[in-house]
């Protein structure tokens, strides 16, 4: 991704004010600063008839159903607004966003990956609107905890991640854990593991029974990060992982514990615990195969639960990974992709109202009713039974009693590519654990300035 310097100064802002003046009734500027709380316009009905362009990646069953229902309710509340929604896969949206934000024709609302490679770079380039004023005006800082909003906070120069201005608002929660087939476990004479040693025994037992222990489709490289993240937490201190994942100084990928974690992943691959060729299998094809009876376990994200349950019913279960260092459960997770507003969006007033609407308490209930996992009131909104009840409970338990670790690809602007390629090579046997650790450390150290 090309880097563009963030251009901002008092003189430049004053000189550009007339050129970037708001179009009547739209609240549009090319200035990423955004309005202060007392300048925020919340009168959507007074905008006249407008079309609000929204891009999101809520394409899977429960996600799509929830957004569709929310849009219908939003248009009913504001009949002068027609929402023109474009939905696309995460990978497609990620590719399109970087290209689109560099041009003049941008959507009004779009989901942006919080990672430094995406949101961090867009903030640095001045391509997103600072939502801090809207957050105060709409009460988002009271609605959400600091830990939730921190996942979408950057300083204006994007050097600091986790603090500073707000550039997006999340709608859902996410947690990576272990899906399992109750029938498959029973068939090999195993129980859901309560420790990492028990999990290792399950993998060995499954293979001896001619069952694939873990289902993984890693063609797109990033899925392996959702397997390695929980595995890493089995031996590496969560504080260390957080430093590495947030791109903050003080971590070290080459220490013995991280090398041990990489060694275990390589061992799983060598023993065929991940299948014959996980790097050649598509992510969606992998979880679909799991629902058809291939594999005993699938280590992945909470977003898969509803769709897999449609095929597997009560046979599908979910659990957080066993406790790791310090006796606490720690696993990869966080929030869904935050909803942001481009600095060049034509309908920023309506865009902010839309974000407020789809992240309200009523929206959280609707998301839960449609099978999604809201980032707020998770425990209270958990279903009465089924895999989503287990997912909600796991997210709540990890969030409150354990450690919800950042996604590893947050770390640096290039870490998603580096980590994806490195783990793919490790799984494929083209790289040793020590070489993999060195490659990850180089990217991290180049960014943080560590020696």
Tell me the domain boundaries of the chain.
10-172+336-369, 174-335+386-448
The correct CATH number of 174-335+386-448 out of 3.40.47.10, 3.30.360.10, 3.40.50.880, 3.40.190.10 is 3.40.190.10
Task: Give CA 7 to chain center in angstroms.
Answer: 28
**Paired sense of beta strands 316-319 and 339-340, if any:** unpaired
Q: In terms of CATH, what superfamily is 10-172+336-369?
A: Periplasmic binding protein-like II (3.40.190.10)
pTM, entire model: 0.77
Per-residue pLDDT of the chain (451 residues), as tens digits, is 222 222 222 333 333 333 333 433 344 446 788 888 889 999 999 999 999 999 999 987 778 989 999 999 999 999 999 999 999 998 899 889 999 999 999 999 999 998 888 999 999 999 999 999 999 999 999 998 887 888 899 999 988 888 899 999 999 999 999 999 999 999 999 999 999 999 999 999 999 999 999 999 999 999 999 999 999 999 999 999 988 998 988 999 999 999 999 999 999 999 999 999 999 999 999 999 999 999 999 999 998 998 999 999 999 999 999 999 989 999 999 888 999 999 999 999 999 999 999 999 999 999 988 878 899 889 899 999 999 999 999 998 888 788 889 899 989 989 999 999 999 999 999 999 999 999 999 999 999 987 5
Closest Cα to residue 387, out of 327, 325, 341, 318?
Answer: 318
Closest Cα to residue 308, out of 420, 215, 399?
Answer: 215
Place of tokens 């935050």: 338
**Alpha-helical regions (H) of 251-380:** 256-270, 283-291, 305-312, 348-358, 361-369
**Helices then strands, each counted (H, E), the chain:** 19, 11
Domain 10-172+336-369 and domain 174-335+386-448 have a common topology: yes
């Amino acid at each position: 991704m090309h880097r563009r310097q963030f251009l901002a100064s008092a003189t430049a802002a004053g000189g550009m004010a007339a050129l970037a003046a708001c179009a009547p009734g739209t609240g549009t500027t090319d200035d990423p600063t955004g309005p202060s709380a007392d300048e925020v316009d919340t009168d959507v009905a007074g905008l006249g008839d407008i079309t609000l362009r929204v891009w999101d990646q809520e394409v899977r069953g429960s996600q799509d159903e929830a957004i569709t229902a929310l849009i219908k309710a939003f248009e009913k509340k504001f009949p002068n607004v027609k929402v023109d929604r474009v939905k696309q896969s995460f990978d497609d949206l990620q590719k399109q966003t970087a290209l689109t934000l560099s041009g003049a024709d941008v959507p009004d609302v779009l989901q942006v990956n919080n990672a430094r490679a995406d949101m961090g770079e867009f903030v640095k380039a001045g391509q997103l609107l600072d939502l801090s004023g809207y957050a105060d005006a709409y009460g988002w800082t009271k609605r959400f905890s600091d830990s939730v909003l921190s996942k979408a906070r950057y300083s204006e120069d994007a050097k600091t991640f986790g603090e500073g201005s707000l550039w997006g608002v999340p709608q859902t929660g996410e947690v990576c854990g272990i899906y399992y087939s109750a029938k498959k476990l029973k068939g090999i004479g195993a129980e859901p593991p309560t420790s990492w040693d028990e999990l290792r025994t399950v993998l060995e037992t499954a293979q001896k029974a001619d069952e694939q222990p873990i289902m993984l489709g890693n063609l797109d490289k990033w899925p392996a990060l959702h397997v390695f993240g929980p595995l890493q937490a089995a031996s590496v201190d969560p504080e260390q992982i957080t430093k590495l994942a947030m791109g903050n100084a003080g971590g070290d990928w080459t220490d013995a514990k991280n090398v041990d974690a990489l060694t275990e992943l390589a061992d799983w691959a060598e023993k065929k615990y991940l299948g014959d060729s996980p790097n050649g299998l598509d992510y969606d094809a992998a979880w679909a195969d799991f629902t058809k009876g291939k594999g005993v376990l699938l280590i992945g994200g909470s977003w898969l639960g509803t769709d897999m349950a449609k095929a597997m019913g009560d046979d599908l279960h979910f659990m957080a990974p066993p406790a790791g260092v310090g006796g606490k459960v720690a696993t990869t997770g966080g929030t869904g992709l935050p909803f942001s507003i481009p600095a060049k969006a034509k309908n920023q007033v309506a865009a902010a109202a839309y974000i407020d609407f789809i992240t309200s308490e009523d929206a959280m209930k609707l998301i839960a009713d449609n099978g999604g996992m809201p980032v707020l009131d998770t425990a209270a909104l958990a279903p009465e039974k089924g895999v989503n009840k287990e997912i909600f409970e796991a997210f709540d338990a990890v969030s409150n009693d354990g450690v919800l670790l950042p996604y590893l690809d947050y770390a640096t602007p290039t870490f998603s590519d580096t980590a994806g390629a490195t783990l793919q090579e490790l799984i494929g046997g083209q790289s040793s654990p020590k070489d993999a650790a060195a490659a990850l450390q180089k990217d991290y150290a180049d960014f943080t300035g560590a020696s």
